[in-house]
Amino acid sequence: LYVPTIVVKKEDNRHLLFALSLQVTHYKQYPPNTSKVYSYFECREKRTDPSKSRKVKYDKTVFYGLQYILNKYLKGKVVTPEKIQEAKEVYREHFQDDVFNEKGWTYILEKYNGHLPIEIKAVPEGSVIPRGNVLFTVESTDPECYWLTNWVETILVQIWYPITVATNSREQKKILAKYLMETAGNLEGLAYKLHDFGYRGVSSQETAGIGASAHLVNFKGTDTVAGIGVIKKYYGTKDPVPGFSVPAAEHSTITAWGKDHEKDAFEHIIKQFPNVPVSIVSDSYDIYNACEKIWGEDLRSLIVARSADAPLVIRPDSGNPLDTVLKVLEILGKKFPPLENSKGYKVLPPYIRVIQGDGVDINTLQEIVEGMKKHRWSIENIAFGSGGALLQKLTRDLLNCSFKCSYVVTNGLGVNVFKDPVADPNKRSKKGRLSLHRTASGNFVTLEEGKGDLGGDQLHTVFQNGKIVKTYTFDEVRDNAQLTESDY
Ligand SMILES: *[C@@H]1O[C@H](CO)[C@@H](O)[C@H](O)[C@H]1NC(C)=O
Ligand SMILES: *[C@@H]1O[C@H](CO)[C@@H](O)[C@H](O)[C@H]1NC(C)=O
């Protein structure tokens, strides 16, 4: 009988195994006498066939998450004799050959006390940068360690995830801002219009923490508490917490009362929370009956007595999202007559609101706010919750995040390198040393082949030989990512 041994060591994620298998053997593959490898990260833009296929173009990305990766995985003493030994053994079995660069890692251990001799320059966290520009560069700082640049690729490219969550969440903020302006004339409450419901739907606790923190770059409402820990530990905020929530019912707290007692459940729950907003899922049996009979008649007096700071928030949770929202608003509008705002749109009385948290992604969000506008409902009436689509239904391909070598030094000579595959011009990479600059019109442009060496580079050194040399607070990240009027 084979009994697997599970060895739980004291937590240390910073082993030498975080490169792809293929990268492990690369030190043997560069041209002889290579003394520097310089690589960069970008979210490629489409050179051919712009826009057409996708509804949302994502033409700018929010740069976020490098500080987490650097702190968690790359800073300080990363190499120890034990880790070298461990990696050597695992890779020997994995490749059935001694291909691990033991000599190279021992050199780093001895010469740098295990700190990584690389330099990383990056655009400030939270920056909103058009696709196709350099976002960070990585270079080896010791000629013996040229191979290290692309060893760290795997861990660094995982930044695609916080970048993609933050970018997709910001695009949704743009939609909400646009429709709020059109139907209400102001952006009040925007920061709470898209609530993170994604905790259960993500692949792991680490994903939850990173993804939720990325959403909080743009919004303040979250149920994915793990994000708060990530922000406090790796960025820091002036507020005690960067994200907020309100008491909310789930189906179990309603159905536990039994089918004939939905009204009692509702009544009990709203009475528990008289002074804060309370969200009550109302589709356990029949959302329309709940809105019309229970909320609209049986419990009406309790609801109209609530203040604007403590509204009842009705949550439908099934059916076609747009149809359901419109029908719920229509029923509620008959029982709680709406006012007309300065833009001529209907707003339910301030003590009652709706939250749609089922089936919400960037496309359905757009459909719902457009449908509400058509039916003359202000976006003031609603907030959204999004889970899987916010934190998990995303891939590295959405923004074409990629890391490529653009410059090497061989035999003392700098060479600009690039790829340009014949079958896909979109995959052409940039050449030489790169820098990012602002144009007179406030746009961004990447200069290649060292042409920007004279100054004005928007990339700043954040990591040097094992030390983090520049950090950003979460407040700075949020400021950098703020919407501007041209966004909506
Ligand atoms: C590498 O450098 C050494 C020492 O300068 C030189 O003798 C050798 O020819 C170089 N190898 C190649 C392939 O350029
Ligand atoms: C981005 O990735 C998608 C999916 O792989 C691909 O269809 C598209 O051509 C890529 N775009 C660029 C600019 O590389």
What is the rounded CA–CA span in Å between residue 276 and residue 404? 51
What pLDDT does 453 receive? 78
Residue 57 or 116, more confident: 116
Number of neighbours of residue 275 by Cβ within 10 angstroms: 9
Q: Point out the least confidently predicted range of 7-21, 67-81, 186-200, 305-319.
A: 7-21
Amino acid at 77: K
- Atom 1 of ligand 1 has which residue's CA nearest to it? 33
Pocket lining: 426 vs ligand 2, CB cutoff 6 Å: yes
What pLDDT does 5 receive? 58
User: Taking a C-beta distance cutoff of 8 angstroms, is the pair 47, 156 a contact?
Assistant: no
User: Taking a C-beta distance cutoff of 8 angstroms, is the pair 360, 321 a contact?
Assistant: yes
For residue 164, the CA-to-ligand 2 centroid distance in Å is 14
The answer to whether residue 69 scores a pLDDT higher than 80 is yes
Known binding residue 195? Answer is: no
What pLDDT does 104 receive? 95
Known binding residue 316? Answer is: yes
User: Taking a C-beta distance cutoff of 8 angstroms, is the pair 116, 152 a contact?
Assistant: yes
Residue pLDDT, tens place only, 349-401: 999 999 999 999 999 999 999 999 999 999 999 999 999 999 999 999 999 99
Amino acid at 304: V
What pLDDT does 22 receive? 74
What pLDDT does 6 receive? 58
Known binding residue 315? Answer is: yes
User: Taking a C-beta distance cutoff of 8 angstroms, is the pair 125, 472 a contact?
Assistant: yes
Nearest-5° Cα angle at 100, 95 to 105: 160
pLDDT grade, residue 97 (50/70/90)? confident
Q: Residue 282: how many CA atoms within 13 Å on its side-chain side? A: 31
Main-chain dihedrals φ then ψ at residue 396, nearest 5 degrees: -65, -25
For residue 397, the CA-to-ligand 2 centroid distance in Å is 6
Percent of the chain with pLDDT over 90: 85
For residue 395, the CA-to-ligand 2 centroid distance in Å is 11
What pLDDT does 7 receive? 55
Residue 23 or 140, more confident: 140
For residue 29, the CA-to-ligand 2 centroid distance in Å is 28
Q: Hunting for tokens 């409902």 — which residue is that? A: 377
DSSP code for 455 = S
State pTM to two decimals. Answer: 0.95
| CB neighbour class for 341 (10 Å; exposed up to 12, middle 13-18, buried from 19) | middle
Give SS3 for 128: strand
**Average pLDDT of the segment spanning 226-254:** 96
Residue pLDDT, tens place only, 47-59: 765 555 556 689 9
Pocket lining: 318 vs ligand 1, CB cutoff 6 Å: no
Q: Which of 386, 64, 478 is closest to 193 using CA atoms?
A: 386
Residue pLDDT, tens place only, 456-469: 899 999 999 999 99
What pLDDT does 9 receive? 54
The answer to whether residue 4 scores a pLDDT higher than 80 is no
Query: Which atom number of ligand 1 is nearest to the Cα of residue 33?
Result: 1
For residue 267, the CA-to-ligand 1 centroid distance in Å is 83
What is the rounded CA–CA span in Å between residue 253 and residue 257? 7
Q: Residue 374: how many CA atoms within 13 Å on its side-chain side? A: 10
Amino acid at 405: C
Percent of the chain with pLDDT over 70: 95
The answer to whether residue 2 scores a pLDDT higher than 70 is no
Q: Hunting for tokens 């903020």 — which residue is that? A: 173
What pLDDT does 268 receive? 97
413-416 vs 312-315, strand pairing mode: unpaired
The answer to whether residue 321 scores a pLDDT higher than 90 is yes
User: Taking a C-beta distance cutoff of 8 angstroms, is the pair 91, 30 a contact?
Assistant: no
- Which residues, in sequence order, are bridge partners of residue 119? 139, 464
Q: Point out the least confidently predicted range of 24-38, 257-271, 281-295.
A: 24-38
Amino acid at 50: P
Ligand 1 pocket mutation pick from 35, 411, 415 by most atoms within 8 angstroms of CB: 411
Rounded to the nearest 10 degrees, the angle between the axes of helix 81-95 and helix 102-112 is 170
